[in-house]
Chains A and B, each alone.
Chain A
Amino acid sequence: MKQSVLMSVVLGLSVMAAHAQDKLVMDGSTTVGPIAKAFAETYMRQNPGVNITVSESGSGNGAKALLNGTCDIANLSRHLKESEKKAMSEKGVKPVAHVVAFDALPVIVHPSNRVKGLTIDQIRDIYTGKITNWKEVGGGDQRIVVISRDTNSGTFETFKELVLGNDSKIVASAEYTGSNGGVRQRVQMTKGSIGYAGLGFVDRSVKALDVNGVAPSAESVVAKQYPISRELFMFTNGEPVSDSLAAKLLSMSRTEKGREIIEEIGYVPVPEK
């Protein structure tokens, strides 16, 4: 009797220990979110009993979660900042970057807008408030409603780096939105608006502009022609142990199935060497 109780306790404990390997916590970017969610769902579909959770709280919070050890994989739509790297090395966290996909930032407008394309300089002038009406760039006589991502997001950082330049300031009347989906919805509902979001979020409800004459697409991203392109990352603390859940999930981005998923969501898989 006693023995069987002991046995069941031991069994229970070993089950709990086994459980620990069946769990994975991902946190971070709303741009990488769809990839992370699809990877997680696909993996869990093939391996019942595994629980992978994905939160979409923004790249900045993803980096913080990795720093505080509250996630296994941090999804970032930008690279780590110097300040984040420093904080991590002070805490003994060793961030390892894994590029999971390429992305472009289409600049989107309401479909009623007749403007077909803008140059980087025009976009910068719009976001810094030098251009305030669509007629200045070939559109109708309409005030421009500037919509941006929040400053915690990697998408914002990328946009700032590649379009605005680091010392420009976004016009004070700009609206800040907390997610890619939110930007698309605002643009879709607001005539005269302009915004930007990851490739996976842009559908036919909004119009993606040509930038410097190049349309955002998988081809123009791979060919490095579209000027606002970037890499999407997943960060781990140290190289993940081979055969661990994290390693398996990360390697998905290189498998055929993973690349297909990335493509079907709308992003660009990392080209095979």
Chain B
Amino acid sequence: MRLKLRKLMDHALTAGGYLAIGGMALFLLWVLVPVFTKGFGAYVFRGTVEHRRMMLGEFNRGDLARLRAELAEVWRAREPVYRAVAAFERELDAMPAARRKALRSAFREVREGVAVLLGPEPGVPLPALTRRLYGQTRWEQAREKAADILFEETWEYSDAGSRRVLVPRAEQFEGTALAPVFDSVERDLAAMMRPRLTVYPRFLTDRSIDAHFFGGIGPEVLGTLYLSLGAMLVAVPLGIVAAVYFQEYAKEGPSVAFLRSCVNTLAGVPSVVFGLFGLAFFINTLRVSPGKSVLAGALTLALLVLPTVIRASEEAIAAVPRAFKEGAMALGAGRFRTVATVILPAALPGILTGIVISMGRAAGETAPIIFTAAVSVGQMVKPSEVLSQPTPALSWNLYNLCTEHEAVEELRHVQFGMAATLVLIVLALNLAAILLRARVARRLKG
């Protein structure tokens, strides 16, 4: 009977374990699959002729002769639209006042919609903002904008609740000179935009253009790398020295116990507190830089990951067999020599794992860099400028684009692209940790 119960409990535990792992895997899939599939869309998408025009205009990439030929093709599809708009403008002026008033604002919306879809109207002065110099660069967005031209969104109000109604604008303009616009947009959209499968790997390294409307996320990627590498540069030596002290030098006693609990407490401090501390201490008190900078951000991140590095290094050092140490001592090595030539090399795999995992954490943190390093717009930071220059960074700019930006909906592909890239960077770091650990461990054995 007892045996049966024990077996049952055993099975229950196994089942519970599988359930937990399965649940975790499902959750990961649920989070990561959309991030990766949609984020992939920033790199590979159906780009329109406007994308190619933008690439040539802003990055000087592409074939001018081919683009010219393509634009001539596109013009044939677009011309009827512009002709109808011009004709209707004349017609509008000749209309009776009441009808003119009724149609004018709707006409303005259609005209604006055409400019948003196709880019600035030929013959009118160019707009000042780069984002308005080109039409829709992505096919799926072009189709959305075309729908904005074709339909007017209105709401029907009733007591039961309101209902969204899409009214075709063609009805409103029936019989006018503007009517052909709607036919053309509906029928010839593909000919106007010429969507083509576009691979844009340089999204990863290109600068952003006009607050991320075009271009890539290069400054953010670079900023994230600077910040996480910089944090490690500070945290690793400090962390290892502290760990060696705790494990090899310190005599167990109340003061060491107190120090240990300090480190543990540090690990539990919310990251935004580190951010505020970084602002108050590194920038406003120590003035390590004139304002926000990569340096200040890296120092703050270093404080944040320091406890992790210390703990991982301590564990690794503690796991080194006592015999190693005793052997070294017996051969006459001093304490420093023992640590430097025997203990640390043996503990290296564990220490490295801790380091790379902390680096992933530093790359993903947002709160510590808001006040100390991150900006929403800025150029790529040169290595010579890290001491004084603030930088965009993936984690912060992702948040900024999702909440604060003036055109959140139109930049979904950039947001997902940033998210996927950030996740990939962290995954790559973790993978590197595993490989590195295996390699170092193998070398130490051999």
Q: Jot down 13 A-B pairs with beta carbons below 8 A, ordered by A.
A: A25-B291, A25-B292, A33-B376, A33-B404, A41-B210, A51-B385, A54-B375, A54-B376, A55-B376, A70-B291, A70-B292, A112-B157, A201-B406
**Tally of chain B residues near chain A (CB < 8 A):** 41
**Alpha-carbon separation in the docked complex, A71 to B390 (Å):** 11
Among B177-229, those with CB < 8 Å from A are 209-211
Nearest CB in chain A to that of B378: its residue: A53
Q: For residue A51, which residues in chain B have a CB less than 8 angstroms away from its CB?
A: 378-379, 381, 385, 389
Nearest CB in chain A to that of B404: its residue: A179
Q: For residue B384, which residues in chain A have a CB less than 8 angstroms away from its CB?
A: 16
Among B20-67, those with CB < 8 Å from A are none
- CB A145 to nearest CB in B, in angstroms, measures 15
Determine the main DSSP class of B at the interface with A. loop
A111 with B378: CB separation less than 8 A: no
Which residues does B use to contact A, with CB under 8 Å? 127-130, 132, 153, 155, 157, 159, 161-162, 164, 209-211, 283-284, 290-292, 370-371, 374-379, 381, 384-385, 389-391, 400, 403-406, 408-409
Which residues does A use to contact B, with CB under 8 Å? 16, 19, 23, 25, 27, 30, 33-34, 36-38, 40-42, 44-45, 51-57, 61, 65, 68-71, 111-114, 140-141, 178-182, 184-185, 200-201, 204-205, 257-258, 260-261, 264-266
**Alpha-carbon separation in the docked complex, A70 to B292 (Å):** 7
Q: For residue B209, which residues in chain A have a CB less than 8 angstroms away from its CB?
A: 41
| Other-chain residue from A36, A112, A179, A180 in contact with B161 (beta carbon distance below 8 A) | A112
A205 with B162: CB separation less than 8 A: no
- CB A102 to nearest CB in B, in angstroms, measures 17
A182 with B375: CB separation less than 8 A: no
Nearest CB in chain B to that of A202: its residue: B406
**Alpha-carbon separation in the docked complex, A40 to B371 (Å):** 20
B292 with A41: CB separation less than 8 A: no
Q: For residue A36, which residues in chain B have a CB less than 8 angstroms away from its CB?
A: 377
Q: For residue B374, which residues in chain A have a CB less than 8 angstroms away from its CB?
A: 55
Q: Which of A34, A113, A141 has the most CB of B within 10 A?
A: A34
- Contacts A56-B400, A201-B406, A257-B128 known; A38 to B210 CB distance under 8 Å? yes
Q: For residue A23, which residues in chain B have a CB less than 8 angstroms away from its CB?
A: 389
Q: For residue A69, which residues in chain B have a CB less than 8 angstroms away from its CB?
A: 290-291
Q: For residue B406, which residues in chain A have a CB less than 8 angstroms away from its CB?
A: 33-34, 180-181, 200-201, 265-266
**Alpha-carbon separation in the docked complex, A179 to B127 (Å):** 27
| Other-chain residue from A33, A34, A114, A258 in contact with B162 (beta carbon distance below 8 A) | A114
Q: For residue A19, which residues in chain B have a CB less than 8 angstroms away from its CB?
A: 385
| Other-chain residue from B128, B157, B284, B370 in contact with A261 (beta carbon distance below 8 A) | B128
| Other-chain residue from B284, B391, B408 in contact with A185 (beta carbon distance below 8 A) | B408
